Structure 1
Amino acid sequence: MEQIETITAIHHPVRRRIFEYLYLHGASQVGTLARALEQQVGSISHHLRMLERADIVERTDAPDGDKRASWWAAKRVSFTWSLDDFADSPADALLAREAERANIATQLRRLQEWKKSGSRFPDWDGFSTDTLTWATPDELAGLSAALGATLDAWKQSINTEDGQQRRPVFVFAHGFPTQL
């Protein structure tokens, strides 16, 4: 179970972008992050400290050994939690619901941006998939685990040393009970 401090830290829009940049690009300087994310250095430094307190990022040595530069790296690769994890604390449950809303808003914004991009990525085909079926709570949890394992295996199968040009790819899926 994730701590509520971790969940609220990662679901701040700027902090999420910082984490994702570090996850995709590896360790980076504060100035590099500020330029890439079009933010002020002071703002990036503040958000990095918040992420560090939540154990999401960590300070790291500069590749060239320069002690004057502030370098940071992602410490985690994923976050998994459920609103049910916070049922015993109304305050934490409220924060978790707000983080969930922020997460869904981010996912939908990214989908909308992809759809609006049109011909900006002519060689790229996105995909959409959905299904409707009957399942128990355990069967839905099994699907979640299987999808997670499939995504992990897919990420590990990518050979980033083959010289091909790659772009960041965002994949998300939701499974939940519904009514007809």
Structure 2
Amino acid sequence: MGTLKAIAHPLRLRLYRSLFVAGVATASQLAEQVDEAVSLVSYHLRKLAEHGLIEEAEPRSADGRERWWQPASEGVSVRDEDFRDAPEQAAAHTAFARLLVDQRSELYRTYLDGRHAWGPEWNRAASDSETTLRLTAAELKRLNEELLALAKKYDDEGRAAEAAGDTEGRENVALHLYGFPFRT
């Protein structure tokens, strides 16, 4: 519950996402990205570290005063079954999920507002689609697992190519997939 509360803070979630994209960064670098004071960012980074979400990284410069941070794992996984028997925790889970949706929507709105700057190649590659499927819960679970595995395959290949020096044209790409039941 404490870990969920730690990351379910708007600034902490933005910092975690920025750090995840960067791989490693200092509080100063992250403060610049989120447009907040370094002291405030340092405080929130320490809170994330207290809950095992991030950890100190090997220094990347000779300046011993700089603290470098990195994600402590490959991501955060929050599952409904972790909260099913505790209503107060379920409320925190819902609040966290809503915060994720809000930040993901803001990220996409930022792209939409500035898409002209990306050029035709990126705009043709970007997608916005919705598909309505008729599935069972088991089929939806399997579909989600397969989509995540496919996304991870592409990420692994891209990171390997980048590590080999193939950096031309590579950008961070957000892929948001939602699969949920609804009734009309």
Which one of 114, 117, 129 corresponds to residue 114 of structure 2? 117
Task: Determine helix, strand or coil for the equivalent of 2:119.
Answer: coil
TM, length-normalised to structure 1: 0.89
Report the equivalent of 2:17: 20
Report the equivalent of 1:41: 38
| CA contact 1:59–1:71 (8 Å) conserved in 2 | yes
**By how many angstroms is 1:66 displaced?**
4.2
CA change 1:34–1:91 in 2 (3 A) is: same
**By how many angstroms is 1:163 displaced?**
3.2
- How many residue pairs match? The answer is 177
| CA contact 1:60–1:72 (8 Å) conserved in 2 | yes
**By how many angstroms is 1:146 displaced?**
0.5
**By how many angstroms is 1:109 displaced?**
1.7
**By how many angstroms is 1:65 displaced?**
5.2
- Paired letter, 2:170: R
Within 2, Cα distance between the matches of 1:140 and 1:172? 16
Alignment of 1:1-180 (within 5 A): 4-64=1-61, 66-123=63-120, 124-125=122-123, 126-158=126-158, 159-160=161-162, 161-180=165-184
Within 1, Cα distance between the matches of 2:166 and 2:55? 29
- Paired letter, 2:53: I
| CA contact 1:83–1:97 (8 Å) conserved in 2 | no
Deviations 1:71-100 (A, max 9, x none): 111112222223342121121111111111
**By how many angstroms is 1:154 displaced?**
0.8
CA change 1:61–1:50 in 2 (3 A) is: same
TM, length-normalised to structure 2: 0.87
CA RMSD of aligned residues (A): 1.7
Task: Determine helix, strand or coil for the equivalent of 1:69.
Answer: coil
Deviations 1:109-132 (A, max 9, x none): 222222222312123121023222
Within 2, Cα distance between the matches of 1:39 and 1:128? 31
Deviations 1:141-175 (A, max 9, x none): 10111111011001011122213033221110111
CA change 1:121–1:171 in 2 (3 A) is: same
Quick one: percent identity of the two aligned structures? 24
Task: Determine helix, strand or coil for the equivalent of 1:73.
Answer: strand
CA change 1:60–1:133 in 2 (3 A) is: closer
| CA contact 1:61–1:67 (8 Å) conserved in 2 | no
Task: Determine helix, strand or coil for the equivalent of 1:163.
Answer: coil
Task: Determine helix, strand or coil for the equivalent of 1:72.
Answer: strand
Q: Which has the higher helix share?
A: 2
Within 2, Cα distance between the matches of 1:118 and 1:31? 28
Q: Name whichever of 137-146 and 10-19 sits farther off.
A: 10-19
Within 2, Cα distance between the matches of 1:63 and 1:110? 29
Task: Determine helix, strand or coil for the equivalent of 1:134.
Answer: coil
